[in-house]
Structure 1
Amino acid sequence: MKQASKAIRQHILALLSDGQFHSGEAIAQEVGLSRTAVAGHISQLSDWGLDVFKVKGKGYRLERPFTLLKADTIKKQLRDAGMALIDVESVLPSTNTALKKRISNSPHNLADGDAVLAEVQTAGRGRHGRSWLAPVGGSLTFSMYWSFPDGYQSMAGLSLLVGLAVCEGLRKVGIDDTQLKWPNDVYLQGRKLAGILIEVEGQIGATAHCVIGIGLNVTMPDGQYDVGQPYSDLAGYLGHVPDRNDVAAHIIEALWSMLPKFAQQGFGPFAAHWQATDLFADKRIVLQMGEKRFVGIDRGVDASGALLVETEDGISRFHGGEVSLRGH
Structure 2
Amino acid sequence: MAVSELFQASKRFQENYEWLSVAKYFDRIDSTQKRILQFLPKKIEGAVLVVAESQTKAVGRHGREWISPPGGIWFTLGLPMKTRTIAEMAPFSIVCSHVVVNALREINNLNCEMKWPNDILYQGKKVAGILNSTVKKFKNEWFLVGIGVNVNNELPDSLSDSATTIQKIRKQSQGRSRLIEAIIEAVWVAWGDFDRTGFGPYQKSIEDKLLGKGKMTRILVGNHQTEGTILGIDPQGSLLIQSGSNKKTIHAGEVVG
Give the TM-score, by structure 1 length: 0.71
Alpha-carbon spacing, 1:319–1:253, altered in 2? closer, same or farther (3 Å): same
C-alpha contact 1:156 1:267 (8 A) present in aligned 2: no
1:270 aligns with 2:202: yes
Aligned amino acid, residue 5 of structure 2: L
Aligned amino acid, residue 241 of structure 1: S
Partner of 1:217: 150
Aligned amino acid, residue 96 of structure 1: Q
1:108 aligns with 2:38: no
Which residues in structure 2 correspond to 1:26-41 (within 5 Å)? none
Q: Name which one, 1 or 2, has greater alpha-carbon Rg.
A: 1
Percentage of matched positions with identical amino acids: 24
Partner of 1:73: 9
Which residues in structure 2 correspond to 1:134-149 (within 5 Å)? 134-136=68-70, 138-149=71-82
Partner of 1:118: 52
Partner of 1:10: none
Pick the aligned partner of 2:33 from 96, 101, 108.
96
Pick the aligned partner of 1:192 from 126, 143, 166.
126
Aligned amino acid, residue 184 of structure 2: I
Looking at structure 2, the residues matched to 308 and 180 of structure 1 have their Cα atoms a distance apart, in angstroms, of 15
Partner of 1:166: 100
Deviation, 1:245, is 1.7
- 1:271 aligned counterpart, secondary structure: helix
- 1:202 aligned counterpart, secondary structure: strand
Partner of 1:5: none
Deviation, 1:110, is 5.6
> Unmatched 5+ residue regions in structure 1?
1-14, 18-66
1:233 aligns with 2:169: no
Alignment coverage as a number of residue pairs: 254
Partner of 1:301: 233
C-alpha contact 2:110 2:122 (8 A) present in aligned 1: no
Alpha-carbon spacing, 1:325–1:274, altered in 2? closer, same or farther (3 Å): same
Looking at structure 1, the residues matched to 159 and 27 of structure 2 have their Cα atoms a distance apart, in angstroms, of 24
C-alpha contact 1:75 1:81 (8 A) present in aligned 2: no
Looking at structure 1, the residues matched to 132 and 57 of structure 2 have their Cα atoms a distance apart, in angstroms, of 16
Tell me the alpha carbon deviations over residues 59-97 of structure 1, each in whole angstroms, 9 at most, x when there is no partner.
Answer: xxxxxxxx7134443565899622513321112110011
Alpha-carbon spacing, 1:253–1:284, altered in 2? closer, same or farther (3 Å): same
Partner of 2:256: 326
Runs of 4+ in structure 1 displaced over 4 angstroms? Answer: 74-80
Alpha-carbon spacing, 1:196–1:292, altered in 2? closer, same or farther (3 Å): same
Looking at structure 2, the residues matched to 70 and 156 of structure 1 have their Cα atoms a distance apart, in angstroms, of 29
More deviation in 293-302 or 262-271?
Answer: 262-271
C-alpha contact 1:75 1:249 (8 A) present in aligned 2: no
Cα RMSD after superposing both structures? 2.4
- 2:28 aligned counterpart, secondary structure: strand
1:251 aligns with 2:183: yes
Looking at structure 2, the residues matched to 236 and 180 of structure 1 have their Cα atoms a distance apart, in angstroms, of 20
Structure having the higher strand fraction is 2
1:129 aligns with 2:76: no
C-alpha contact 1:143 1:212 (8 A) present in aligned 2: yes
> Unmatched 5+ residue regions in structure 2?
none
C-alpha contact 1:177 1:188 (8 A) present in aligned 2: yes
Alpha-carbon spacing, 1:77–1:237, altered in 2? closer, same or farther (3 Å): farther
Pick the aligned partner of 2:114 from 158, 167, 180.
180
Aligned amino acid, residue 255 of structure 2: L
